[in-house]
Amino acid sequence: MALAGCVRYSDIQGSGGSGGNWDPNFGIDGGGNIDSDPCFVDASDPNGNDNIFGTTDDGLRLTADSNCIDAADGDAAPSTDMLGLERLDISDVNNTGSGEPNYADIGAYEVFGLLTVDFLNEPTGAQCTLIYNNEYYDGIWHDDGYQVGLIPGRYIVRLKPTYSSSSGLWHTADDVTVDVAPGASETATVWYWYPAVWVSDTRGDNNGDGGYDDPYQTIQYGIDNAQNVAGNVYRVMVEYGTYYEHIVFPNADAGDNRVIKLKGLNSGGMPNGDKPIVNGTYNSGYSTFKLFYVADDTLVANFYIEDGKSTRTDSGGGMDIQGTYEGGTCTIRNCTFDNNLANRYGGALCIRFHNPTIEGCVFKNNEVKYSPAQGGAIYTWWCAGDIIGCNIGLEVSNYAPSSDSDEIYTGSSFTEYVPTYQDCGIRGGLDGDYCDYDTTPPIDGGGNYQ
């Protein structure tokens, strides 16, 4: 029995699709029809585990391999699918649809990604929210096991700070980034830990208890009074603001082997985007950050370090890192060094006898002043660390007078004691006019650009 009427932009099994193979028993070919496996998530379970149509677990959702994606008539299709999701143009799929938009999907469901959030070690009342394109996705806090259909893309799962009466501490967690692909199901697993100390320049008071509701006011006081989280790890969370400080980390060589994890939070309370400012204007000629003989796995992340002046110690206006001949490891991540000055070695950053990871940092407008002036941005001496994904002098150049090391100076006679630069943007290039070395050049780990 033939079907009456005109059929357009539909997926019909056995129809042959639009064109010469069309079977007229299915009606008049109006164009845009396909005869293809729709690639449902689970055609045997159309309404999903909850047995309710129109929820995110429905089996008739499309997977990424479906030819129904971006293939409907946008003029005829509603602006949202049956779940309320707006039409989405999948970048790696050719738009075979028509109308406005020409990328609606055939069927009741626009292709989307499914995300489930799984909490571990969570306190009572633990909740999370989602961030997409640096904006809160919905601004709502969700419980453990939360499942949602999302526009494909990169999401950040952020945990809400939660107080535990049993531990007497505030629990939080590192943000988790997850890429949600079209038609895919992903799980974001988030492990709660205890931040021992919170610091706020506006809410804080060094007479407080350092908790989320009663934070300390200075970073140094937070470090000095940090409590043990677990395994000798001490976490200090710093709220967005401006801190005029000279910050000295625990010296493991002198017996204080605490592993400090120091993290800055942006104005939205997240560890990315804009950063707390640490200003060294009033440090009496000392580096803004001093990390001497720190315990392995020490972390400094998400700070804007500016106006440090190392005129007494000559090295590392923004940060001075020093270890022993045996080296040591710490990580400096996502920090910006701006307008710092040292008399001689490393206007922004000086590293000696230590093997840190410097990751995702920006160096601009830093300077060394007097001869021998080496490393306007970075000076290393017997350092086998990794410098990854940094911007060195590309935004604003750094400066070292009477020297070929406006940006970088590497000091060592042995290849095993020079740093590796990888995926860094370096003014003039790693072997260019603004980078110099003693007898052994730094290692090019690949991906560097100028």
Q: What is residue 221's DSSP assignment? A: H
With respect to residue 83, please indicate whether it lies within any of the assigned structural domains: no
Confidence (pLDDT) at 124:
78
What pLDDT shows up at residue 2?
47
- Determine the 3-state secondary structure of 224 from DSSP: helix
| End residue of a domain, out of 191, 218, 237 | 191
Domain count across the chain: 2
CA distance 262 to 233: 11
Summarize pLDDT for 31-59 with one digit per residue, the tens.
999 999 999 988 999 988 888 888 878 88
Instruction: State whether 215 and 185 are in the same domain.
Output: no
Q: How far apart are CA 353 and CA 411, in angstroms?
A: 11
pLDDT single digits (tens) 84-102: 888 888 877 899 999 999 9
**Do residues 164 and 247 both lie within one domain?**
no
pLDDT in tens, 341-381: 999 999 999 999 999 999 999 999 999 998 788 999 999 99
Q: Last residue of a domain, which of 191, 206, 228?
A: 191
Give the C-alpha separation, 244 to 238, whole Å. 13
78 lies in some domain: no
Residues 402 and 421 grouped into a single domain: yes
Name the residue range of residue 381's domain: 197-444
- Tell if the pTM clears 0.85, that is, is over it: no
Q: At residue 131, does pLDDT exceed 50?
A: yes
Confidence of residue 273 (pLDDT cuts 50, 70, 90): low
Q: Are residues 202 and 252 in the same domain?
A: yes
Is the bond preceding residue 372 a cis peptide, omega within 30 degrees?
A: yes
pLDDT digits (tens, 9 = 90+) for 252-265: 888 888 999 999 98
pLDDT for 434 equals 94
Note the helical H segments in 259-412: none
Same domain, 301 and 382: yes
390 lies in the same domain as 374: yes
Same domain, 180 and 221: no
Confidence grade of residue 298 (pLDDT, cut at 50, 70, 90): very high
Task: Please check whether residues 233 and 303 belong to one and the same domain.
Answer: yes
